[in-house]
Structure 1
Amino acid sequence: MIANDNTAPTRAKGRKSVEAWSGKDKGDENFPVASLLIAKPLRARVHAYYDFARNADDISDSPTLSPEEKLARLNAMEAVLTGAEETGSASATKLRRSLAESGVPAAHARELLVAFRQDVIKTRYENWAELLHYCRYSAAPVGRYVLDVHGESLDTWGPSDALCASLQVLNHLQDCAKDLRDLDRCYVPQDWLHEAGLSTDDIARPETTPALRAVFDKMLDATQDLNRTAADLPKRVKSRRLRIETAIICALANRLTVLLRHGDPLATRIKLSKLDVLTASLKGLKYAP
């Protein structure tokens, strides 16, 4: 069973802080974040990255900040991350120091900010390709950072990008009703909705219609293709601990794909159970040798 070290994200203190922590932490995620499978020294580096990402995400999702203020705060986080500014974002300062110690490039964190800025100004995605391009910045940098921290080769990036994109799309499907209601965001490809005679407003219904179910299934079919590509990741990872972790995450992605295919994300939030996590963990242990 995976156990997470669920310390709260860093919150910057003082008047000049741009951070506004929402209260969410690693326990709110679908998948393990720096679980105890990760070696302790490396776990601290993953926590630093997660804290930075969590705080940036909270800014882009804030219900009270204006778009202009959100962009200004995200820019400030990047300025602190790169050393252009010394204070204003505790999580960026923490990550900057971690990156300096590890030698891992800041690009993986700066690319995340590209996606968070996009979330501020873009609320619809025309097609699947456009959504995957968003995932390249919102999700892929996470996997690439973890791989770099472990000293893995670039050969792992392809299947890792596929896994991260899968996790991102699955999360979008889980939260499609909430994202539309709270943020007026829709990550369901608009062309697929239009082909089915639907509009974004149909996602605001209390239950999924047959036509919308077909669109969700089309997204899940494409996501399963990503899962198949991702299955090669544990085979390429050299670190034993990370190999097990990635195998577990692959199994969880496959399981959540199945759950979303048989459940209604408009009627309830589809999520993994403790049994799902246990089953995935046992599958992951096959990669221990």
Structure 2
Amino acid sequence: MNRTNLVLHAQTSIERGSKSFSRASKLFSKQTRQRAWLLYYWCRACDDLADGQDHGHGMSAVADAEKTVAAMRMMTARAHGGEQIGNPPFDAFGAVAQECHIPKFLADDMIDGFALDAQDWRPETEADLLQYCYHVAGAVGCMMAIVMGVPTSDNETLDRACDLGLAFQLANIARDIAEDDAAGRCYLPREWLQEARLDTDNILDPARRDALVMLVNRLCDLAGDYEASARVGAAKLSFRSRWAVLAAAGIYGDIARAVRKSNGASLDQRVFTSKLDKLGWIVKAFGQALLRPATRERKGLWTRERPADAAIR
């Protein structure tokens, strides 16, 4: 499949899989927009393979999860090496990886997150949780920054891009507590659960609902911290990329804010943000992109392990 058709398939995928990201991506320049779609197409396909979903919907058990992850890793490696493998999402990744010189270790890091899920992994500590969020979303934030022109040597900006991925994933986890529980997953650190005196195998116990809501709110607050950090990094981007990133930050950040505001209702019904709210963020982000954000140190925030220079070539 040629690049033009890959882009068309990728556009369809992002429109089906994430209306929020689809709207924000339209703010990019044409070249960056197409590259972002190609990267999303591969990320979405990997996520769907790992969770037995179709564009993020209808989670189901995967017969041999570890074998699925191994196949995902193999196809990604071949595509990254420039081989056309005949699987459109992976060929899409190969195209954008070649064009933007995306380091292979970032793709491997993302797939490592799916490997953790295949092993029924659960975090023991907050640091474990953030490490997982890096794998499934922070690494994607780094790849997106590279697509937007950030050099692989600019670790400060890549850390801020990683922060946005962490914010997105923390919001997802906060929103999907009940859905994940139904699938036999829990991303709340065991230390948190023990501190709140919650049964690790029955976190939705109605008698302990208030304690669970406090932990959900803690996730939302963490998401807000990493979103705020990411906004500082957006200043390094071109205007249109900065506008798109700030719009996405606001749109997705509203998920965490809505979950917190729901005071536990999100445990019974999935939280959504309205089309009007999304459009509102596109307008607000335009104004934010014109201004220089306030300086905010990353003091106290979890930081990804930075590879040696030799590892990123």
Under a length normalisation based on structure 2, what TM-score does the superposition of the two structures give?
A: 0.77
Measured in 2, the distance between the counterparts of 1:37 and 1:207 equals 46
Q: What is the SS of the residue equivalent to 2:266?
A: coil
Q: Which amino acid aligns with 1:49?
A: L
Cα-to-partner distance string for 1:97-125 (whole Å, 9 max, x where unaligned): 33223333333323211112222113311
Aligned match of 1:28: 17
Summarize the Cα distance change of 1:8–1:285 in structure 2 as closer, same or farther, 3 Å threshold.
same
Measured in 2, the distance between the counterparts of 1:197 and 1:208 equals 8
Aligned match of 1:87: 85
Superposed, 1:73-222 pairs within 5 Å as 73-83=71-81, 87=85, 89-153=87-151, 154=154, 155-182=156-183, 184-204=184-204, 209-222=209-222
Q: Report the Cα offset of residue 83 of structure 1.
A: 3.5
Q: Identify the range of structure 1 (67-76 vs 163-172) with the bigger mean alpha-carbon deviation.
A: 67-76
Q: Which amino acid aligns with 1:55?
A: A
Q: Report the Cα offset of residue 46 of structure 1.
A: 1.5
Q: Identify the range of structure 1 (47-56 vs 91-100) with the bigger mean alpha-carbon deviation.
A: 91-100
Q: Report the Cα offset of residue 208 of structure 1.
A: 7.6
Gaps of 5+ in 2: 1-6, 53-60, 291-313
Q: Report the Cα offset of residue 94 of structure 1.
A: 2.7
Aligned match of 2:302: none
Aligned match of 1:235: 235
Q: Is the contact made by 1:37 and 1:245 (CA closer than 8 Å) also made in structure 2?
A: yes
Summarize the Cα distance change of 1:287–1:142 in structure 2 as closer, same or farther, 3 Å threshold.
same
Summarize the Cα distance change of 1:254–1:61 in structure 2 as closer, same or farther, 3 Å threshold.
closer
Summarize the Cα distance change of 1:28–1:71 in structure 2 as closer, same or farther, 3 Å threshold.
closer
Q: Identify the range of structure 1 (79-88 vs 30-39) with the bigger mean alpha-carbon deviation.
A: 79-88
Summarize the Cα distance change of 1:24–1:266 in structure 2 as closer, same or farther, 3 Å threshold.
farther
Measured in 1, the distance between the counterparts of 2:171 and 2:207 equals 18
Aligned match of 2:42: 52
Q: Report the Cα offset of residue 247 of structure 1.
A: 1.4
Q: What is the SS of the residue equivalent to 1:209?
A: helix
Q: Is the contact made by 1:30 and 1:272 (CA closer than 8 Å) also made in structure 2?
A: no
Aligned match of 1:250: 249
Measured in 2, the distance between the counterparts of 1:127 and 1:31 equals 30
Q: Report the Cα offset of residue 280 of structure 1.
A: 1.4
Q: Is the contact made by 2:124 and 2:191 (CA closer than 8 Å) also made in structure 1?
A: yes
Measured in 2, the distance between the counterparts of 1:7 and 1:181 equals 35
Alignment length (residue pairs): 270
Q: Report the Cα offset of residue 195 of structure 1.
A: 1.0
Aligned match of 2:27: 37
Summarize the Cα distance change of 1:231–1:119 in structure 2 as closer, same or farther, 3 Å threshold.
same
Measured in 1, the distance between the counterparts of 2:282 and 2:116 equals 35
Q: Is the contact made by 1:208 and 1:267 (CA closer than 8 Å) also made in structure 2?
A: no
More helix by share: 2
Q: Identify the range of structure 1 (72-81 vs 274-283) with the bigger mean alpha-carbon deviation.
A: 72-81
Q: Which amino acid aligns with 1:125?
A: P
Summarize the Cα distance change of 1:270–1:206 in structure 2 as closer, same or farther, 3 Å threshold.
farther
Determine what percentage of the aligned residue pairs are the same residue: 27
Cα-to-partner distance string for 1:239-277 (whole Å, 9 max, x where unaligned): 111111111122224422221112122110012111221
Measured in 2, the distance between the counterparts of 1:186 and 1:93 equals 33
Q: Is the contact made by 1:7 and 1:25 (CA closer than 8 Å) also made in structure 2?
A: no
Under a length normalisation based on structure 1, what TM-score does the superposition of the two structures give?
A: 0.82
Measured in 2, the distance between the counterparts of 1:236 and 1:176 equals 34
Measured in 2, the distance between the counterparts of 1:27 and 1:170 equals 20
